[in-house]
Amino acid sequence: MTMRPAVVAGAWLLAACLAALSLGPSRIPPMDVAAALLQGLGLDFRVDERTLAIVASLRLPRMLMAALVGGMLALAGATLQGLFRNPLADPGVLGITGGATLGAVTAIFFGASAMGGAVLPLAGFAGALAAAIAVDRLARVDGRIPVASLLLSGIALEALSRALTGVLIYASDDRQLRDITLWLLGSYAGASWDRLLLIAPFALLSACALPFFARGLDALMLGEREAGHLGIPVETLKRLAVGVAALGVGAVVSVAGPVGFVGLVVPHLVRLTHGPGHRRLIPLAAAYGAALSVAADTLARILVAPAELPVGLVTAAIGAPFFAFLIRREKRRLAA
Amino acid sequence: MRSLLLAAALAVAGAIPAFAEPPQRIVVAGNGLTEIVYALGAGDRVAAVDTTSLYPKRAQDLPKVGYLRALAAEGILSLKPDLLLVTDDAGPPAVLAQMAGAGLRVVKAREGHSAEILAERVRMVGSILERGDAAGELEKGLAADFAALAQSLAASPTRPRIVFVLSAGGGTPLAAGADTSAEAMFKLAGAVNAIDGYKGYKPLSAEALAGSGAAVIVTVTHSLQALGGEAAMRALPQFAGAKNMRIVSFDGDYLLGFGPRTAHAARDLAAALRPNETIAKLPERPWVAAP
Amino acid sequence: MIRATDIVVRRAGRNLVDGVSLVLGEGEFLGLLGPNGAGKSTLLRVLAGEFPPEGGKVEIDGADLKAWPRADLARRRAVLPQHAAVAFDIDGRAIVELGRLPHEGRSTRAQDAQAVADALDACDAAPLASRGYAALSGGEQQRIQLARALAQIGGTPKPLLLLDEPTSSLDLSHQHAVLSLAKRVAAQGGAVLAVLHDLFSASLHCRRVAVLERGRLVAQGTPEEALTPDLVRRVFGVDSRWIDLPGGQRALATYPMAA
């Protein structure tokens, strides 16, 4: 891919990250933010303890978490849209979001909110993996996974997870209900270095799988048979792409909740602006997904300070109108 | 590991106030706790409260740190408090850990709905805020009021069966089961929860209500308003079998807050449930009159 | 170059392809003929290696198709499928460029660009390259897809080209142009197999034809050997007559059977 789009995407991401580090309910001058970051690296800049804690222990891990979650969701969305050859696919269609939600809601139901630590993310992750395995089994026909069957299995599983989640919601008391509702809206409030370490390997794994996916997904634009004729191991590609998407989405949803919109719309936006080639689409979607997520979380943190909004509300509020605008513009271009 | 450390830090903070100065900027989350802080005369030290803290009215003018279970770490830290006082069920736990990690003193009060736990909270807040005298007075007054109420109720021949109904924002009415603050209030008011068999709140069904044998439906003013008033509430299908049940409503945080006003709320509830009897009024207390 | 021996494809208890053996040598352009449902496309898919047949085997250059590494095969042979729907809004050139995917890391950027340009020119598709695929007509889409297949084998010695009804949506001049092109690929040392419906153009352009009827190979040879009036009447249900064309060429004209 040519460098310019990458540089622009990187600049947006950098701007979003700088904003996330310097803005917040606490007013901290940019110089102090920089000093606190450097001090976090071991240099002594005589930054007071509270500033250091806010910048290095709250804002920095949270920004990284927002970037990882947003990047991962957009990446998975781009991959799945390519795999399903359908621009409306998102991480939800595999049943993974539903599985993670069911896992997390089950944990909340049985009192995980009070246990703290990693119980909730682990339960969400377990739910996501269980869903991915179930979808794989359901969709398999004679050792192959036809895309239509994968899509239908994912939808069936998502519906099942939703039904079971509904049962738990029904059986919850009012406090669990509030917890579940808040979790469903998505939030990065629990960001910490521990949780970052929990999801970082999956982001790394996905990044490594990128070149392979991009090539195969490009060929898949022509159709599954055609991709096969071009030498793409289509079944392997499907299995790997679904697996990586499932792991990644499961990991990020379990720590952040189902942050909506990013996985569906960011890949779509990038496709509208930079074309459907996956070599460009996948990395750009990851960068813009991360940037949107970081920017949305910054707004979530400052809009109603000292309280916070669930980040999912903000991603939807920023993204949906922007999406509508782009579609309108695109329609005009197509009509012309 | 980190959560263990936090638990240890919290335990130490709760047991032995290891700080020389009493806290001057307090963020409180949990309406009962907020009421206690104000009742102990430390209202001017409160920097912010959560959205459940509606009483006293003055507290509503303070910055809001959001819902008790969805607190925001940097938001609270930005207020530069020296104490975060929360009930046991405040959260998320990861956020509390973040704030403790940033050097903020976080104190958790035990959660529960009983006169004993209320007294314990009063003592704890008094000791942390170095308002021991006021706390002693409040605790003594509460004990006397609960005792006086128990005495008048002992003389009452009736043990009304009641159902407590709540509706969040006009949604499906929920009925209180076991382990709720509503049920605890019923006990204090010498009444019996006609709904048993589950914990917490569950959607109310017409059949369960009709079969409960309740004489009175108790609700909170907010829910009643959200449903469109008493007539509208009675018109709901869930209330089809409740023609003969009276509906009584109270201010939500007064009835369910489990704070300094709870003895008086219990007395008022007891009296409202027994229109044909006289339940002695409790003495006027400064913490109940506070605007 | 490609040899299929006793191929059997069974679906739902029926033999779609029933013991077909075919040989396609270097420099040959073979037309695969037959009425609807005769098993032509199924046979082509087996030759393309899309799925293993229930019986028989396919060899390319003497090696079993199953043993061919995916990538080597993709550089050697290209397939033009019958209907090709493309996902997302992508332009013609991008599709043709996807044909170069198997050559990634083996050919230079310039070679790729040359192969794409040659393929577009050969299919008279250069003017379509910058247009969105979805906005093209059926015939234009077919030419872009053919260009993609040509790009895939561009620069390959002894390429193998499998075409499933390459002319079905084309206008008359493009039909002949495409079949002439196939002839040229064969003449340059390649081998081309095309599923065709039109006996006139098949008889005009193909060096050899094979006729399938209900999964069986019923005739094979040069057009004049294989397409006898009897066979054409029996298999296709039409009467036919060889006619002379200017330039000494001969082709088969068909017309409704006399009652």
Put simply, the answer to whether C88 touches A225 (Cβ < 8 Å) is: no
Predicted pLDDT at C84: 76
Q: Which residue of B has its CA nearest to A52?
A: B102
Please give the CATH number for the structural domain made up of B158-289. 3.40.50.1980
Kindly give the parts of chain A with pLDDT less than 70.
Answer: 1-2, 112-117, 211, 333-336
- Please indicate whether chains B and A are in contact, defined as at least 3 beta carbon pairs under 8 Å: yes
User: Domain residue spans in chain C?
Assistant: 2-256
Q: Is the pLDDT confidence value at B1 over 50?
A: no
Is A24 near chain B, with CB under 8 Å?
A: yes
DSSP state of C91: B
Residue A2: its pLDDT value, please? 60
Nearest one of B203, B191, B197, B128 to B162, comparing CA atoms: B191
Shortest CA gap B157–chain A (Å): 33
pLDDT of residue B2: 45
Whole-number pLDDT of residue C102: 94
Name the nearest CA neighbour of B186 among B118, B257, B273, B275: B273
CA distance A47 to A38: 10
Taking the Cβ of residue B171 and every Cβ of chain A, the question of whether any pair is shorter than 8 Å is answered with no
Instruction: Look at A223 and C50 and tell me if their CB atoms are within 8 Å.
Output: no
Rounded to whole angstroms, how far apart are CA atoms B40 and C179? Answer: 97
pLDDT over threshold 60, residue B7: no
Helix (H) or strand (E) holding C18: strand C14-24
Average pLDDT of span B90-104 = 88
Mark yes or no for CB contact B66/A308 under 8 Å.
yes
pLDDT of res. A115? 61
Domain C2-256 in CATH: superfamily?
P-loop containing nucleotide triphosphate hydrolases (3.40.50.300)
pLDDT digits (tens, 9 = 90+) for A1-43: 467 899 999 999 999 999 999 999 988 998 899 999 988 888 8
Q: How far apart are CA A149 and CA C64, in angstroms?
A: 31
Chains A and C touch (3+ CB pairs under 8 A): yes
CATH number for B2-130: choose from 3.40.50.1980, 3.40.50.300, 3.30.830.10, 1.10.520.20. 3.40.50.1980
Is it the case that residue C233 has pLDDT exceeding 90?
A: yes
* Furthest CA-CA distance within chain C: 62
Dump pLDDT digits (tens) for B115-173: 999 999 999 999 999 999 999 999 999 999 999 999 999 999 999 999 999 887 777 88
Instruction: Please indicate whether, in this complex, the C-beta atoms of A194 and B200 are within 8 angstroms of each other.
Output: no
**What number is the average pLDDT over the span B62-70?**
91
- Of the pLDDT bands very low, low, confident and very high (cuts 50, 70, 90), residue B8 is very low
The subunits that touch chain A, with at least 3 C-beta pairs less than 8 Å apart, are: B, C
Q: Give me the CATH number covering residue A101.
A: 1.10.3470.10
Average pLDDT, chain B: 88
State the SS3 of chain B: CHHHHHHHHHHHHHHCCCCCCCCCCEEEECHHHHHHHHHCCCHHHEEEECCCCCCCHHHHHCCECCCCCCCCHHHHHCCCCCEEEEECCCCCHHHHHHHHHCCCCEEEECCCCCHHHHHHHHHHHHHHCCCHHHHHHHHHHHHHHHHHHHHHHHHCCCCCEEEEEECHHHCCCEEECECCHHHHHHHHCCCEECCCCCECEEECCHHHHHHCCCCEEEEEHHHHHHHCHHHHHHHCHHHCCCCCCEEEEECHHHHHCCCCCHHHHHHHHHHHHCCCCCCCCCCCCHHHHCC
Nearest chain C Cα distance for residue A208, angstroms:
19
Contact at CB, B69 and A50, closer than 8 angstroms: no
Q: ω into residue B92 within 30 of 0, thus cis?
A: yes
pLDDT band with cut points at 50, 70 and 90 for residue B272: very high
Q: How many domains does chain A have?
A: 1
Domain extents in chain B? 2-130, 158-289
Cβ-contact A224, A147 below 8 angstroms: yes
Angstrom distances, CA of residue A31 to CA of A24, A26, A233, A308, C56 = 15, 14, 52, 25, 76
Q: Distance from CA of residue B109 to its chain's centroid?
A: 13
Nearest to A94 by CA among A279, A247, A224: A247
Please give the residue range of the domain that contains residue A57: 3-335
ipTM greater than 0.90? yes
Percent share of chain B, pLDDT over 70:
92
- Say how far apart CA A317 and CA A319 lie, in whole Å: 6
Same fold, B2-130 and B158-289: yes
Instruction: Output the pTM of the full model.
Output: 0.85
- Strands of B106-109's sheet, edge to edge? B46-49, B26-29, B83-87, B106-109
Q: Closest partner residue to A307 among B66, B77, B102, by Cβ?
A: B66
User: Which H or E run includes A301?
Assistant: helix A278-302
DSSP three-state, residue A269 = helix
B13 pLDDT exceeds 60? no
What percentage of chain C has pLDDT greater than the value 90? 91
